[in-house]
Structures are given as C-alpha cells and as structure tokens.
Structure 1
C-alpha cells in the first residue's frame, strides 16, 4: 500500500516521517519524497492515527487523485532542481509527462487551478531557492551555478534572481542571513 504525504519535500522530511511511522509500529518498505510504501493495507482508524501524528509535523495524507497529482508534480520538480542537477537540462513538460502519465495541458491546468500559480513559476521559484542555497555555500561561482541549473547565461540567472528576490546574487551572497525559505514554503 502506498500513502501519499503532502509537504514532504526534503531528506529531513523523509527521516521524520519514517521515524514517526516506526514509532507507531509501522515499518515502511520505503519512504521517499511524498510517498510511504507499506507492506499491508491500513484501516481507516490506522490512517487516522497516522494522520494525527504526522500533522503535528506539518504533513498530511493525501487521499484524492487530483491532490496526489499536484504533490507528484511538486515532488518531481523539487527532485529535479535540488537533487538531479545534471538532469535539469531536460524539457520540464517532457520530464513531468514522462513521470506522471498525463497530458501536459491537463497537469498544467490542474496545477494552476489548485495552486494558484503556474508550474513554470513554481519551477523558477525552486530554482531560485537552489541558487540561494548554492550562493550561501559559496563553493561555486555564479557561472558554475548558472550552468548547473541550465540557465543560458549567468546574466539570465542574475536577472531572474533579481526579479524574484529584489536582490542581485552578489548582494544576496553578501547579506545571506535569513533570505532562504524552507522548500515547503516556496
């Protein structure tokens, strides 16, 4: 049985959810972004018990199909931007349709309807958060970050960064305190 979990967007989230399932006596077969796989079906009471516990950490169980698709889109984008740097060169619409098995027009309309923003804007917001993270670490130049995140030029990255944050990457790097957002708030 698979349970889809909302707001599970980072490795720390995976650790927390896995730990809470284990504390409740459910040993998941696997836990990955947005999903927990169990060896048995759960009763309504068991699902309710799990929901109560994980809600205290800001997570929730997703039961309807449309919400699962939205969470799947978010999870794929987060994975693409934050964990699979080299694969970001693939066209986003192709990447999503290959993993979700729905027409891109359907998923983009669904996403916009439910989230109030476009998939593209969500993708850009995730990329900018990744840029912030890489700037704070200070290990890569802006050119290297631009290349890693598939920007055509460092100036394109810089312009988009300033448009979203109101700061240049250089200024952000100099002040870097409290400017990053947790992934579930992007």
Structure 2
C-alpha cells in the first residue's frame, strides 16, 4: 500500500507519461469492460457462440448478476 505522498507522486509521474492511475473499483471495472469490448471489436472475425453479456462475464470473470451493483449509481449521470 502506498502512502498518500507516494500515490500523489505516482499520479504525477504517470500523468507526465500520458497515463492515469485508476484507483476506484468501479472505474477499474469500467476500464476492463471497455477493453473487452474493444478486444471483441478488433477480433470480430472470430465468432462467439454466446450472447455478448455472457462473453463479457466470462472474459471479466464476473457474474453478470453483480453488474447492477456497480452501475446503479451511474445510469443518470451525463
């Protein structure tokens, strides 16, 4: 675990490199979903034999029934 000063310094270094530290569980999940969707789009020549939500659940190793917990507060945000 990093101290507050270490975390701040890390964020500054990452920002200078054009990167961002994601330290929020919801943001991490959203980033993983975005990456899985992009991966699927980039490999669209490979046919999946399940629906997309099942594909994402398997890819992220996350039960789809838990998704509303992560997204219930983000639906009304712009």
Give the TM-score category using the shorter length: 0.5 to 0.7
Q: Distance in 2 between matches of 1:88 and 1:46?
A: 44
Displacement of 1:60 after TM fit? 2.6
Residue of structure 1 equivalent to 2:46: 87
Point out where structure 1 has 5 or more consecutive residues left out of the alignment. Answer: 1-42, 118-186
Which protein has the bigger strand share?
Answer: 1
Residue 62 of structure 1 pairs with residue 22 of structure 2: yes
Question: 1:92, CA displacement in angstroms?
Answer: 1.0
**Distance apart, 1:98 and its partner CA:** 0.9
Gaps in structure 2 of 5+ consecutive residues: 1-5
Query: Paired residue for 2:11?
Result: 48
Secondary structure of 1:87 counterpart: coil
Structure 1 segments of 4 or more deviating over 4 A?
none
CA shift in 2, pair 1:112/1:92, >3 Å:
farther
Q: Give the structure with higher Rg (CA).
A: 1
Structure-2-length-normalised TM-score:
0.64
Structure 1 counterpart SS, 2:15: helix
Q: What is the TM-score normalised by the length of structure 1? A: 0.31
RMSD, aligned CA: 2.6
